Structure 1
């Protein structure tokens, strides 16, 4: 297993059956004095496809939405508490200036509109315990309760 990991990292190469030789990259690593440990390899980028990411894609595409329209479009039925999850996410986005609530109309559900310059492919991340939203586009951190939505 160790030789497989070293080969994957390009630090050694096969020099015959059961024999290995150090590569230039392996020599450079050895000369650097750094230890080899797990977690140093290249990380695979996994596309995000959770409920909130799917909701963000719909929000960015449609520009205006309701909780019911999001649930109808993105919920698969496998999520736990999808409605509550989306309501908390929408509240966080609203409090940090990513979306704005549209004026209420009699007999209609609450609706929101996305702020155009906040739209990016990656969904904003809601950190509930820290009361923060991290912009997926810029990486900027917005604190819920902070009145300055930069």
Structure 2
């Protein structure tokens, strides 16, 4: 009888967290990331991306007019407490820039998001522009 009570108490004490919502397939239906204050992206942030392209690590062709514009979308799971739980950059065939963009979204969002009532996926878009 005592073993049954111990097993029953152990089973009741085990808390299994709910699984995080899966990454949505259709990102176009995701609402924009709910920033309190929209981040201001400086031109200096494009320097890293320009360097990756110049080094040949990103197969992005030089535009005819010399003006680069690289867009990266990042699906972002925000918890009900306003904290980012996960970032998933859309593949652009340049992993370093994808991860850099996901890191920027995380940085821009830290302490700068409206809170939701549940965990929810959002979309963030970063565009790097520069003359090459």
Q: Which has the larger radius of gyration?
A: 1
Q: TM (normalized to structure 2)?
A: 0.26
Structure that is richer in strand per residue: 2
Q: Which has the higher contact order (CA 8 A, sep 6+)?
A: 2
